[in-house]
């Protein structure tokens, strides 16, 4: 595109960007959604009209400047528009996690004092109605999908399209007011408020200004040379800062098209149909995809399997170098080209990644095997490091400098410093304004000079300038002998095995490390099926002796690799159990973004941890579980405690 | 409540219309066996009408009489104000009656979408010739029908299996596809023969929600046979109870639950005849 980027004197708010796009890219697609089996699309000028109609409707319903408007539902263009419409009327959009239960929602809705909520469907309407009595300021709800809602009392309930119609009808009455309110928006006005998932304690409302959103969108778009013709697939929770920046911030800045899947179940088909050029997925998604490819290859005919293995071997050897533009021999290029024709191309097409020019993963460490697999296919997958408080971007990997164990160099405009205890601090134009109604936490996180504590421990590699993250700063502890304890570092190594879904390592202040392991039901179940091993439940499969043996060998492999690391060799896992239930967000053991809550787990499974340290060979336990509908039950089990071989420092010698 | 000829409004605010179908003294015999003995009841527009009873009570026979598949030896069926003559199956469909089956009867080799499209057959006017040429009206008609089919697919949340052959689906999903096909005919009366049989609790909950939503959203009159008493009592507006081919109860779920004859039939007391 010949389009020149405007700087700080350009559009200073999200609605201003929308108006700019409606002129500049009037007939280019802005949003697409698959509905009734067809991709429906809206151009930028149509988007502006839709947003404006909704904003006018909100004015008629009495939305005030400074109100908070909650947005709850799966990724749909209408809900992105709702966020923009909220900003147009001078209100603050607050997207919520759609799978949160009613109480979690009640907390957030009451904390921000939302007067309106714009929600997706009956499920969300029901949840809000359930807790409505606890909400002192809540007034009206607007819903998208009318199904099942016909009989509901519509005194404080409106259909989305009805509000838009209302807006179109009362346009003359409110348009002056709407324009006046938009004119007041500037770089310092609040653009969005996002609640962090809260690894510890209650969620905190992160206030992001238009400056945060637009400056970040601008610098990150330039960093990756995003184009107006790019396509992304919006399928990650709307309440997550990443989705907001990709699907609203960057989309508005560069004017690319945001595509919404038909439903959560059709994501993969939709991904393939759209073939995004700019794609983000958490490591888990890449992992699941790779697992399913590998499982299907196991069932393929011998010739096909040979073909796959041969060409994947070539790809592993030369693929990443070709992608990085390094010199590669002629014969290897020829072989890689042949592989592209026969294996890589069709495979990328099946995965829906054929057109990916910029791909990112973040949130958790990604296994080197998995990362290299995608890169060797010629997919430009990179890592970034960020958080809600930074409006996503802190560091990212530039093209050509991509490795699985770093998170890249600082993004444009970001400064980094490492504290004495290893904690990473940053300062940037994307640094959040404050935690809403929580000045104490704001002061704890952000100092007077604008430096923000990430809570992560890491270091900057001297040779390359890349940042490496080892663990959460508060989780990094000391073993009894004073050596470094970094549980997540070990857990990530364990989780790189397809058989292991989740791991929790203990050992802070103790003489040796131990671990809880969760098996991956898909991978282990498939293995069991192929080996004619019958099982009736997760629990039964988890304690099968052969499964235990496999897990033990994985643990020992990890121990061997940790032993080679000078700093962390004390973190080898001496004893472990395979848990009888999957750790679950509904039971409070994981956050909604599936991060481990150590404290909760430590208290809940105290008996098992004790067994790991007192030398017993098995432990009986009863655990409370919460079903999806909120009912509670309990499961009891006897778990086997196993010893794993540990290795002497630096040398691979058996010591135990 | 039942005496109001023009219908009434239910406690949860749904409009129930006048009688749309009436069974008058129906008796059905197979040789010497009397499957249905002198049964009369009516179905009102917009209601969910359940027929329940123990095994062998004659429920499915009754549904087949309603659908016109069986012609009773005695009695009359009145539909939309006129006495109904014996009919061929396609005439039944043309009259706006669609059904699902106790044992799933889908085209196993065809995709879900194609199966749903077969439900649109009675709404297609172009003949074989124009359909083969695939021009003009035939093409427009296909587009319009596809739209209806897609709306139903969306409604029943089966988008993810749109292109999947039916033979690869689970039992619960097949039942849902069958419901989709019946809905595609845009029926005025929908007959469901044991829609929840063989389902697990979660599938039953889903199906119940879909049945209520169909009735709510499209105003479709629904007559259903079901074994699961809990489901019937939650779903239906009125219930007919049959035992040994006879009607032993008729009324709201509450009335039926407190009816001594019904309790006896379900708990099993010695029968005199």
Distance (Å) from the C-alpha of residue B61 to the closest C-alpha of chain A? Answer: 32
Measured over the CA atoms of residue A554, residue A559, residue A564 and residue A569, the dihedral's sign is positive
- Quick one: pLDDT at residue A592? 76
A37 and B213 within 8 Å at the Cβ level: the answer is: no
Enumerate the residues of chain B whose CB falls inside 8 A of the CB of residue A36: 147, 150-151, 153-154
Concatenated DSSP letters of B37-57: EEEEEEEETT-EEEEE-STTS
- Quick one: pLDDT at residue A594? 77
Mean pLDDT of chain A: 89
B12 and A36 within 8 Å at the Cβ level: the answer is: no
B213 and A148 within 8 Å at the Cβ level: the answer is: yes
- Optimal mutation site among B144, B160, B201, interface A, most CBs of chain A within 10 A: B160
Enumerate residues 6+ apart whose C-beta is below 8 A from A645. A556, A559, A654, A656
B160 and A263 within 8 Å at the Cβ level: the answer is: yes
Enumerate the residues of chain B whose CB falls inside 8 A of the CB of residue A37: 113, 146, 150, 153, 159, 162
A377-432 pLDDT, tens digit per residue, is 999 999 999 999 999 999 999 988 888 888 999 999 999 998 877 789 999 999 99
How far apart, in whole angstroms, are the C-alpha atoms of residue B189 and residue B204?
22
How far apart, in whole angstroms, are the C-alpha atoms of residue A361 and residue A382?
6
- Quick one: pLDDT at residue A237? 92
Enumerate residues 6+ apart whose C-beta is below 8 A from A549. none
Burial pattern A588-601, b for ≥16 Cβ within 10 A else e, equals: ebbbbbbbbbbebb
A36 and B13 within 8 Å at the Cβ level: the answer is: no
B213 and A147 within 8 Å at the Cβ level: the answer is: yes
For residues B102-108, average pLDDT? 87
Q: Residue B15: closest CA among chain A residues belongs to which residue? A: A151
- Quick one: pLDDT at residue A103? 87
- Quick one: pLDDT at residue A199? 55
Choice among A33-47, A469-483, B139-153 with the minimum mean pLDDT:
A469-483
- The yes-or-no verdict on residue A6 having pLDDT over 60 is no
- The yes-or-no verdict on residue A2 having pLDDT over 60 is no
- Quick one: pLDDT at residue A235? 93
- The yes-or-no verdict on residue A543 having pLDDT over 50 is yes
- The yes-or-no verdict on residue A366 having pLDDT over 90 is no
Which residue bears the tokens 């919404």?
Answer: A260
B66-81 pLDDT, tens digit per residue, is 988 888 999 989 988 8
Question: How many contacts, defined by CB atoms under 8 Å, are there between A and B?
Answer: 36
Choice among A483-497, B136-150, B246-260 with the minimum mean pLDDT:
A483-497
Enumerate the residues of chain A whose CB falls inside 8 A of the CB of residue B9: none
CB nearest to A151's CB, from B14, B113, B159: B14
CB nearest to A266's CB, from B150, B160, B213: B160
- The yes-or-no verdict on residue A656 having pLDDT over 60 is no
Query: How many other CB atoms are there within 10 angstroms of residue A295's CB atom?
Result: 16
Enumerate the residues of chain B whose CB falls inside 8 A of the CB of residue A263: 157, 159-160
Could you tell me which residue, A463 or A5, shows the higher pLDDT?
A463
- Maximum Cα interatomic distance, chain A, rounded to a whole number of Å: 82
- Optimal mutation site among A36, A235, A270, interface B, most CBs of chain B within 10 A: A36
- The yes-or-no verdict on residue A3 having pLDDT over 60 is no
- Quick one: pLDDT at residue A198? 62
A438-460 pLDDT, tens digit per residue, is 999 899 889 999 999 998 888 88
- The yes-or-no verdict on residue A251 having pLDDT over 90 is yes
- The yes-or-no verdict on residue B11 having pLDDT over 90 is no
A257-287 pLDDT, tens digit per residue, is 999 999 988 998 999 999 999 999 998 889 8
Enumerate residues 6+ apart whose C-beta is below 8 A from A495. A367, A501, A502, A503
How far apart, in whole angstroms, are the C-alpha atoms of residue A535 and residue A541?
6
CB nearest to B159's CB, from A147, A150, A263: A263
- Quick one: pLDDT at residue A522? 85
Could you tell me which residue, A33 or B134, shows the higher pLDDT?
A33
How far apart, in whole angstroms, are the C-alpha atoms of residue B95 and residue B97?
6
Distance (Å) from the C-alpha of residue B213 to the closest C-alpha of chain A? Answer: 6
A510-519 pLDDT, tens digit per residue, is 888 999 999 9
Q: Do residues A77 and A258 lie in contact, with contact meaning Cβ atoms separated by under 8 Å?
A: yes
Residue A320's nearest CA partner among A279, A377, A368, A281 is A377
Q: Do residues A383 and A396 lie in contact, with contact meaning Cβ atoms separated by under 8 Å?
A: yes
Concatenated DSSP letters of B187-240: -SEEEEESTTTT--HHHHHHHHHHHHHHHHHH--EEEEE-S-HHHHHHH-SEEE
- The yes-or-no verdict on residue A7 having pLDDT over 50 is no
B159 and A262 within 8 Å at the Cβ level: the answer is: yes
Beta-sheet pairing, A423-427 with A452-460: antiparallel
- The yes-or-no verdict on residue B273 having pLDDT over 60 is no
Q: Which residues of B touch A (CB under 8 A)?
A: 12-14, 113, 146-147, 150-151, 153-155, 157, 159-160, 162, 209, 212-213, 216-217
How far apart, in whole angstroms, are the C-alpha atoms of residue A271 and residue A355?
11
Distance (Å) from the C-alpha of residue B67 to the closest C-alpha of chain A? Answer: 28
Q: How far is CA A603 from CA A95, A445, A508, A622, B57, in A?
A: 32, 27, 15, 13, 57
How far apart, in whole angstroms, are the C-alpha atoms of residue A423 and residue A413?
20
Mean pLDDT of chain B: 87
B15-47 pLDDT, tens digit per residue, is 788 889 999 999 999 988 889 999 999 999 999
Beta-sheet pairing, A205-209 with A190-195: antiparallel
B159 and A147 within 8 Å at the Cβ level: the answer is: no
- Quick one: pLDDT at residue A431? 93
B209-239 pLDDT, tens digit per residue, is 899 989 988 889 999 998 777 888 888 999 9
Complex ipTM: 0.79
Instruction: Give the rounded percent of residues in chain A with a pLDDT score beyond 70.
Output: 96
Residue A635's SS3 state is strand
- The yes-or-no verdict on residue A652 having pLDDT over 80 is no
- Quick one: pLDDT at residue A651? 40
Burial pattern B64-99, b for ≥16 Cβ within 10 A else e, equals: bbbbbebebeebebebeeeebeebeeeebbebbbbb
Q: Residue B211: closest CA among chain A residues belongs to which residue? A: A148
- Quick one: pLDDT at residue A587? 84
Burial pattern A301-335, b for ≥16 Cβ within 10 A else e, equals: eeeeeeebeebbebbeebbbebbeeeeeeeeeeeb
Strands (E), chain B: 8-9, 15-16, 19-30, 33-44, 48-52, 74-79, 82-83, 97-100, 189-193, 221-225, 238-243, 246-251
- Quick one: pLDDT at residue A231? 96
- Quick one: pLDDT at residue B15? 77
Residue A187: exposure state from Cβ atoms within 10 A (0-12, 13-18, ≥19): middle
Q: Residue B213: closest CA among chain A residues belongs to which residue? A: A148
How far apart, in whole angstroms, are the C-alpha atoms of residue A83 and residue A192?
8
B12 and A151 within 8 Å at the Cβ level: the answer is: yes
Residue A643's nearest CA partner among A579, A551, A542 is A551
For residues A52-72, average pLDDT? 96
Residue A516's nearest CA partner among A491, A549, A543 is A491
Distance (Å) from the C-alpha of residue B176 to the closest C-alpha of chain A? Answer: 16
Which residue bears the tokens 């439900």?
Answer: B119
- Quick one: pLDDT at residue B4? 59
């Amino acid at each position: 595109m010949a389009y020149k980027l405007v700087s700080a004197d350009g559009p200073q708010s999200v609605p201003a960007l929308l108006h700019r796009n409606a002129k500049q890219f009037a007939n280019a697609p802005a949003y697409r959604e698959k509905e009734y089996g067809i991709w429906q699309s809206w151009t930028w000028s149509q988007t502006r009209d839709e947003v404006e109609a909704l904003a006018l409707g909100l004015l008629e319903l009495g939305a005030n400047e400074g109100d908070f408007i909650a947005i709850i539902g799966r990724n749909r263009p209408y809900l992105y528009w709702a966020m923009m419409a909220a900003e147009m009327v001078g209100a603050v959009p607050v997207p919520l996690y759609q799978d949160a239960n009613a109480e979690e929602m009640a907390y957030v809705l009451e904390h921000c004092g939302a007067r309106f909520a714009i929600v997706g469907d009956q499920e969300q309407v029901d949840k809000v109605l359930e807790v409505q009595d606890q909400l002192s300021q809540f007034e009206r709800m607007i819903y998208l999908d009318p199904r099942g809602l016909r009989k509901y009392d519509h005194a404080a309930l409106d259909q989305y399209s009805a509000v838009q119609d209302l807006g179109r009808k009362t346009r003359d009455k409110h348009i002056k007011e709407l324009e006046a309110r938009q004119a007041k928006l500037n770089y310092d006005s609040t653009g969005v408020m996002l609640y962090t998932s809260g690894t510890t304690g209650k969620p905190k409302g992160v206030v992001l200004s238009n400056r945060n959103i637009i400056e970040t969108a601008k610098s990150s778009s330039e960093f990756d040379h995003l184009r107006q013709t790019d396509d992304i697939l919006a399928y990650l929770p709307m309440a997550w800062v990443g989705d907001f920046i990709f699907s609203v911030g960057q989309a508005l800045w560069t004017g690319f098209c945001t595509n919404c899947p038909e439903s959560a179940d059709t994501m993969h088909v939709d991904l393939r149909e759209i073939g995004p050029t700019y794609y983000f997925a958490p490591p888990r998604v890449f992992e699941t995809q790779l697992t399913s490819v590998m499982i299907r290859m196991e069932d393929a005919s011998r010739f096909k399997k040979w073909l796959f293995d041969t060409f994947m071997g070539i790809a592993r050897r030369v693929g990443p170098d070709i992608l990085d533009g390094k010199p590669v021999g002629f014969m290897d290029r020829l072989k890689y080209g042949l592989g592209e024709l026969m294996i890589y191309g069709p495979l990328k097409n099946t995965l829906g990644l054929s057109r990916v020019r910029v791909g990112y993963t973040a949130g958790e460490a990604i296994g080197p095997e998995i990362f290299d697999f995608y890169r060797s296919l010629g997919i430009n997958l990179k890592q970034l490091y960020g958080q809600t408080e930074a409006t996503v971007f802190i560091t990212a990997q530039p093209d050509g400098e991509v490795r699985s164990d770093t998170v890249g160099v600082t993004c444009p405009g970001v400064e980094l410093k490492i504290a004495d205890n290893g904690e990473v601090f940053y300062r940037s134009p994307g640094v959040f304004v404050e935690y809403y109604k929580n000045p104490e936490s704001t002061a704890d996180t952000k100092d007077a000079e604008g430096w923000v504590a990430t809570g992560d421990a890491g270091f900057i590699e001297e040779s390359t300038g890349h940042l490496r993250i080892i663990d959460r700063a508060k989780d990094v502890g000391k073993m009894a002998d004073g050596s470094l304890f970094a549980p997540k570092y070990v857990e990530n190594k364990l989780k790189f095995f397809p058989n292991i879904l989740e791991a929790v390592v203990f050992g802070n202040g103790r003489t040796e490390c131990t671990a809880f392991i969760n098996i991956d039901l898909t991978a282990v179940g498939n293995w069991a099926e192929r080996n004619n091993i019958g099982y009736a439940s997760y629990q039964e499969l988890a304690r099968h002796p052969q499964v235990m043996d496999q897990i033990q060998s994985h643990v020992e492999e990890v121990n061997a690799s940790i032993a080679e690391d000078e700093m962390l060799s004390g973190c080898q896992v001496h004893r472990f159990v395979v848990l009888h239930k999957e750790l679950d967000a509904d039971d409070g053991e994981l956050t909604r973004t599936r991060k481990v809550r150590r404290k909760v787990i430590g208290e809940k499974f105290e008996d098992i941890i004790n067994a790991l340290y007192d030398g017993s060979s098995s432990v009986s336990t009863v655990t409370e579980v919460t079903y999806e509908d909120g009912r509670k039950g309990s499961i009891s089990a006897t778990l086997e405690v196993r010893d794993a071989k540990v290795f002497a420092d630096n040398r691979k010698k058996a010591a135990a | 409540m039942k005496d109001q000829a023009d219908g009434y409004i239910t406690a949860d605010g749904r409009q129930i219309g006048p009688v749309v179908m009436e069974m008058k003294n129906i008796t059905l015999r197979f040789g010497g066996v009397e499957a249905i003995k002198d049964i009369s009841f009516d179905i009102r527009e917009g209601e969910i009408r359940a027929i329940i009873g123990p095994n062998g009570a004659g429920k499915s026979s009754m549904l087949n009489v309603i659908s016109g598949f069986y012609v009773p030896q005695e009695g009359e069926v009145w539909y939309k104000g006129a006495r109904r003559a014996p009919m061929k199956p396609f005439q039944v469909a043309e009259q706006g009656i669609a059904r699902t089956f106790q044992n799933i009867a889908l085209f196993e080799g065809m995709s879900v979408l194609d199966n749903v499209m077969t439900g649109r057959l009675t709404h297609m006017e172009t003949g074989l010739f124009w359909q083969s040429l695939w021009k003009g009206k035939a093409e427009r008609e296909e587009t319009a029908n596809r739209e209806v089919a897609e709306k139903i697919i969306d409604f029943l949340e089966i988008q993810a299996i749109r292109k999947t052959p039916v033979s690869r689906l689970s039992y619960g999903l097949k039942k849902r596809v069958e419901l989709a096909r019946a809905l595609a005919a845009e029926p005025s009366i929908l007959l469901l023969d044991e829609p929840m049989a063989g389902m697990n609790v979660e599938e039953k909950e889903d199906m119940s929600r879909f049945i209520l939503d169909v009735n709510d959203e499209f105003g479709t009159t629904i007559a259903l046979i079901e074994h699961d008493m809990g489901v019937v009592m939650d779903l239906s507006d009125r219930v007919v109870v049959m035992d040994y081919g006879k009607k032993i109860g008729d009324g709201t779920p509450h009335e039926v639950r407190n009816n001594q004859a019904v309790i006896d039939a379900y708990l099993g007391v010695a029968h005199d005849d």
